Chains A and B, each alone.
Chain A
Amino acid sequence: MTFREEHELHGRRKGRNYGLGLILAGLIALVFGLTVVKVLELGDAAKFERFDRVVRPQIIPQEGTGE
């Protein structure tokens, strides 16, 4: 059962709509991939976790370690 009547225009623009859908999906994949690569390239995650507002004992410098 269809909720909307199919218009002839939908059929004619089908290829175009699929194409645009693929391009948008590709853009999402690109941004996601870039995010993964950029975050992995940061190396030590603690470098940026340090700016978290929540106190976390594991990143507080230990006495006598020279940090």
Chain B
Amino acid sequence: MSDISASDTPYEASMGDYFALLKPRVMSLVVFTALVGLLVAPVPVHPFIGFVAILCIAVGAGASGALNMWWDADIDARMKRTVNRPIPSGRVAPGEALGIGLTLSGFAIALLGLATNLLAAFLLAFTIFFYAVIYSMWLKRATPQNIVIGGAAGAFPPMIGWAVATGGVGIESVLMFALIFIWTPPHFWALALFVKSDYGNAGVPMLTETHGRDATRRHVIIYTLLLVPVAIGLGFTSIGGPVYLAVAVWMNAWFLKGAFDIWRRNDAACEADYHRVEIKVFKVSLYYLFAHFGALLIEAALRLYDIGGWS
């Protein structure tokens, strides 16, 4: 009789390993933007329902992260940055990640639908489908514009938050979506210009490698130029106001100046100062997003005292 004992499996996955499948750092950005989308909406939401909605959105985002890790385990195993993720390091079996991803997706979508409304649940389901299938399975390995497409998945959370409160889609939620969607490419490409990645070895086409660094610099300035009207335009909607507009004008000028500086540089200049400008612009891009969504939150808080917005 064979004895299947625990010694056959030297490592037992812990809760921490399963939690790592959910990409907690990505989840924190999702929670922040979804919360802003929910709080700036003109319809008040019961705090407990709001809490459940944000939890569902976070779990849904985590589930799509687990599905992404399941599908991309072969790529992750070939890149230094990702080789220690739970699947390539052997701590979690691929089938477990798939099971967790699908189960959590189902729970998050169903609970969001029951707690709030069907549109919010549909948007969450679409976001998971978009990230796991359209981005991870299809376009990530097919086109150097993968970052642009992947950005859409990260841009949905404030739209879901808005839908939780209002039950609909408005110009405000579309512009919040567009802000993150157009912000993602210059943010990521600024990073790609100074971090030596091994995406090429893993078979993922990245713009810096397929079209070169000069083309990437051009893309950074083009997308930043497209971003400015979206960010400023949001200030003139019902969720904007003087505070937001002041922040937006300042941050867009700062980001645009950085993107312009990147565009004017070449590889020799980058090597000479160890990518000082690119590193700075990447940091600015992080402040950029937090400042815009933070300013929207401030406007919403001021409106409670009838001093926010344009009225």
Contacts and interface: CB of A to CB of B under 8 A. Distances in A.
Interface stretch (A9-17, A47-55, A57-65): A9-17
| B: contact size bracket | 10 to 19
Contact of B49 (A8, A12, A15, A34): A34
Nearest to A31: B111
A41 B46 contact: yes
B1 interface: no
Given A8-B6, A30-B111, A13 B48 contact: no
B13 interface: yes
Contacts of A34: 48-49, 52, 114-115
A27 B243 CA distance: 40
Contacts of B115: 34
Interface string A1-42: 000000111001101100110000001001001100100010
Most-contacted residue by chain B among A13, A15, A20, A30 (CB, 10 A): A30
B49 A16 contact: no
Contacts of B46: 37, 41
Residues of B contacting A: mostly: helix
B304 interface: no
Interface in B43-75: 46, 48-49, 52, 55
Interface in B6-48: 6, 12-15, 46, 48
| A: contact size bracket | 10 to 19
Contacts of B49: 34, 37
A15 B111 contact: no
Nearest to A18: B15
A36 to B, nearest CB: 8
Contacts of A30: 52, 55, 111
Contacts of B114: 34
A63 B115 CA distance: 40
Contact of A16 (B13, B48, B55): B13
A17 B52 CA distance: 24
Given A30-B52, A34-B114, A37-B49, A16 B15 contact: yes
A27 B107 CA distance: 10
Contacts of A15: 14-15
Contacts of A7: 6
A15 B16 CA distance: 10
A58 to B, nearest CB: 29
Given A8-B6, A12-B6, A16-B12, 9 more contacts: A8-B5, A9-B6, A15-B15, A16-B15, A19-B15, A20-B15, A34-B115, A37-B49, A41-B46
5 contacts: A7-B6, A12-B12, A13-B12, A15-B14, A37-B49
